A and B are shown apart, each in its own frame.
Chain A
Amino acid sequence: MLSMKEKEMIEGSLRGEERCQRALFERYAPLLMGVCQRYCRTQAEAEDVLQDTFVRLFAKLNHYGFQGSFAGWARRLCVNVALKTYQRKRFSLEQTGLDDVPEHGGAPTAYTDLGEQELLDLIRQLPDGYRIVFNLYAIEGYSHKEIGQQLGIQEASSRSQLLKARKLLQQQIERRQRIAI
């Protein structure tokens, strides 16, 4: 449910009022930056995706229609922009196996002590395909069928990428924990 202030911001943005657009940006940019950072390997890429997301958000704001959560709508838009950017700029023929994943360089930590930044670092070290599928399935809650449609891959490929992503993450956490003990 939108608060009155959010509704005013969105309506003002639809009328082209820069004050409202800026307020909308300041309210949702941190959340969307968090999404961008999960999908992009570097901070510079994340910033580019955030910029494209807001450009598109203001252009498509009339499609929102005040139905459901604005944060959810903006987040889906952000994910779509990230995927498009990934497909456009990072279309990769890499055949990265488990052995190619670099050793984690973080401080030794038991998994129960892993904070947001450590978890984010673990995700960002995954190969592109694994990272995208893991984000979409584990965090955004997409089904394998939806992921297949979004990325133009088979459902089985999505499942396979997810399993490999999980295995890599487990290995990395275990390695940290072993050192910690």
Chain B
Amino acid sequence: MNPLDDLFREGLGDRKAEVPADLWQKIAARKEAIPAGEALDHLFADRLARRQAPVPAGMWDRIAAARRRTPWPAYALATFLLVLAALTLFLWARPQVPQPEPTALRNANSAAFPLTAPAANAATTNAKAGVVSSSEMPPPPDRPYPAVSPAHTAPTPTRTAAPVVASTTLDVPPPALATAVSALPVTLSLVVVAPLPLPELSAHPTTPGFRALGSNRLRGEVLLGAAYAHQRFTLREGESRAVRDAREVSEFPELSYQLTARLQYRLGQRWSLHSGLTYAEIRNQLEYDALRNGVMTLVRRNNHLRLLEVPVLAGYDLSRGRLRLSLNAGPVANLFTAVGGQYLDPNQGEPRDLASSGHYRGNVGLGWTASLTTTYTLGASHATQLLLEPFFKSYPRSFTHPGAPLGEHYWMAGLQLGLRRAF
């Protein structure tokens, strides 16, 4: 035993220190009963209800930027104006039907033609084999001479005269050659200069009277496009309000898409019929927080609705030419619908599977669609066309059965790109 230990043990072992007289009062004062119930509420409310907190720097700039982010009315107006301008442009750009020439000019031409017609007629006849076949067309009843396309009259008289001269040398005896050649430029220049209105052949090859459509009536087209699919829930039972609220705040649209293969059958100059097969996938994202290993984790899952359907559209050409605009509309018959993914049910501890819930139909019946197709003809053969098609599609029926707690409706709007090919 250490003597030092003994010294302290003997000296301090039984020592009772003095307790301050007010110690108990101090403890009692600190050990007040912790408020409960309404009193606890008041404790927090009194100190926090009107509490002001410092606002982080740059918050106003964030708000100003966020307010500028979604000018939907401006977008809508701009889109409307753009479509309106495109429509106006296309309608004005249609091939113009020639106006009847002024009487004075017609008389002038009539006066001029008796002088030049024989030579011109001879020249045209001689040039038939080597130059153009336009003179094979029967002359219209109100026109004394065959119409020639402006495109065909575009070459200069000198260039046009060359084959004429060549053919003339075969028909005209040598002594008359010099006279014929000297007369031809004058005659031809009169023919070219004469402002003949040439409506029939100046139009596009698909004008009446030139039925090139026969072989191009049936065309195949393939389109692929992205779309926004708007999801809307409707309440069927009062108790399902919580489910609807949970789904509305946990499911967000993703980029949907559709792929279409269809045939176009032209019914006339402007009308056409389109039908085929469309595969569409409506995509949503489910987001929720789940407690995993004591840590709150954001979970994201993809939901999808897969649709196979047959569109039957009537098309009407709003404009003609290389760049065309057509309006299409018609029903969409749904053949098959499949659903995949999960949803949140506040009454369940885990997300529920959409397919096994038994709430979804296998077929949603008829929908309808409308689209505005811009067509650009590629190449000289006119066999291939490039398509740009904004479209809208709506399904009036709910994707869920009538017995399901929620109705689920969709509409889609998107843009398709595609190719059309004549057979």
Residues of A within 8 A of B (CB): 18, 22, 25-26, 29-31, 33-34, 36-38, 47, 50-52, 54-55, 58-59, 84, 87-96, 100, 110-112, 114-116, 119-120, 123, 134, 137-139, 152-153, 166, 169-170, 173-174, 177, 180-181
Q: A111-B35, A170-B34 are in contact. List 16 more A-B contacts (CB 8 A).
A: A29-B59, A33-B55, A34-B48, A34-B52, A37-B53, A51-B62, A55-B67, A84-B249, A89-B289, A91-B246, A95-B291, A119-B47, A139-B44, A153-B346, A166-B41, A177-B34
Do A47 and B30 touch (CB < 8 A)?
Answer: no
Interface size class of B (residues with CB under 8 A): 35 or more
Kindly provide the distance from the CB of B100 to the nearest chain A CB, expressed in whole angstroms. Answer: 57
Do B296 and A31 touch (CB < 8 A)?
Answer: no
Contacts A93-B288, A119-B44 given; indicate if A31 touches B50 (C-beta within 8 A).
yes
Give the A-B pair count, Cβ closer than 8 A: 137
Do B31 and A116 touch (CB < 8 A)?
Answer: no
Q: Which of A36, A38, A52 has the most CB of B within 10 A?
A: A38
Q: 12 A–B contact pairs at CB < 8 A?
A: A30-B54, A30-B55, A55-B67, A84-B249, A94-B291, A96-B291, A110-B32, A120-B51, A138-B45, A139-B41, A152-B242, A174-B34
Once bound together, how far apart are the Cα atoms of A58 and B37, in whole Å?
38
Q: Which residue of A lies closest to B299 (CB)?
A: A93
5 closest residue pairs by CB, A with B: A138-B41, A30-B52, A33-B53, A34-B51, A152-B245
Other-chain contact of A51, B45, B49, B63, B346 (Cβ < 8 Å): B63
Once bound together, how far apart are the Cα atoms of A29 and B32, in whole Å?
37
Q: Which of B41, B48, B53, B291 has the most CB of A within 10 A?
A: B53
Kindly provide the distance from the CB of B205 to the nearest chain A CB, expressed in whole angstroms. Answer: 56
Once bound together, how far apart are the Cα atoms of A174 and B33, in whole Å?
9
Do most interface residues of chain A lie in helix, strand or loop, or is the interface mixed?
Answer: helix
Once bound together, how far apart are the Cα atoms of A50 and B56, in whole Å?
10
Q: Which residue of A lies closest to B38 (CB)?
A: A138
Q: Does B6 contact A (CB under 8 A)?
A: no
Once bound together, how far apart are the Cα atoms of A170 and B33, in whole Å?
10
Kindly provide the distance from the CB of A179 to the nearest chain B CB, expressed in whole angstroms. Answer: 11
Once bound together, how far apart are the Cα atoms of A125 and B63, in whole Å?
28
Q: Does B353 contact A (CB under 8 A)?
A: no
Kindly provide the distance from the CB of A166 to the nearest chain B CB, expressed in whole angstroms. Answer: 5
Do B34 and A38 touch (CB < 8 A)?
Answer: no
Q: Does B27 contact A (CB under 8 A)?
A: yes
Contacts of B36 in A (CB 8 A): 166, 170
Q: Does B154 contact A (CB under 8 A)?
A: no
Contacts of B344 in A (CB 8 A): 91, 93
Other-chain contact of B48, A26, A84, A119, A137 (Cβ < 8 Å): A119
Do A34 and B66 touch (CB < 8 A)?
Answer: no
Do A25 and B52 touch (CB < 8 A)?
Answer: no
Contacting residues of chain B (29-88) with chain A, CB-CB under 8 angstroms: 30-32, 34-37, 40-41, 43-45, 47-56, 59-60, 62-64, 66-67
Contacts of B204 in A (CB 8 A): none
Contacts of B55 in A (CB 8 A): 29-30, 33, 50
Do A58 and B67 touch (CB < 8 A)?
Answer: yes
Contacts of B13 in A (CB 8 A): none
Do B59 and A50 touch (CB < 8 A)?
Answer: yes
Do A153 and B242 touch (CB < 8 A)?
Answer: yes
Contacts of B64 in A (CB 8 A): 18
Do A93 and B349 touch (CB < 8 A)?
Answer: yes
Contacts A30-B55, A120-B48, A170-B34 given; indicate if A137 touches B245 (C-beta within 8 A).
no
Do B54 and A33 touch (CB < 8 A)?
Answer: yes
Contacts A22-B60, A55-B63, A111-B32 given; indicate if A166 touches B296 (C-beta within 8 A).
no
Contacting residues of chain B (245-263) with chain A, CB-CB under 8 angstroms: 245-246, 249-250
Do B30 and A181 touch (CB < 8 A)?
Answer: yes
Do A87 and B45 touch (CB < 8 A)?
Answer: no
Q: Which of A26, A89, A114 has the most CB of B within 10 A?
A: A89
Q: Does B290 contact A (CB under 8 A)?
A: yes
Q: Does B294 contact A (CB under 8 A)?
A: yes
Once bound together, how far apart are the Cα atoms of A88 and B287, in whole Å?
8
Do B290 and A93 touch (CB < 8 A)?
Answer: yes
Once bound together, how far apart are the Cα atoms of A51 and B32, in whole Å?
41
Contacts of A169 in B (CB 8 A): 40, 44
Contacts of A134 in B (CB 8 A): 44
Do B346 and A92 touch (CB < 8 A)?
Answer: no
Do A110 and B49 touch (CB < 8 A)?
Answer: no
Kindly provide the distance from the CB of A111 to the nearest chain B CB, expressed in whole angstroms. Answer: 6
Once bound together, how far apart are the Cα atoms of A139 and B47, in whole Å?
10
Contacts A37-B53, A91-B288, A111-B34 given; indicate if A137 touches B59 (C-beta within 8 A).
no
Contacts of B287 in A (CB 8 A): 89, 91
Other-chain contact of A152, B41, B250, B288, B346 (Cβ < 8 Å): B346
Q: Which residue of B lies closest to A100 (CB)?
A: B294
Once bound together, how far apart are the Cα atoms of A88 and B285, in whole Å?
12
Other-chain contact of B241, A37, A89, A152 (Cβ < 8 Å): A152
Kindly provide the distance from the CB of A79 to the nearest chain B CB, expressed in whole angstroms. Answer: 12
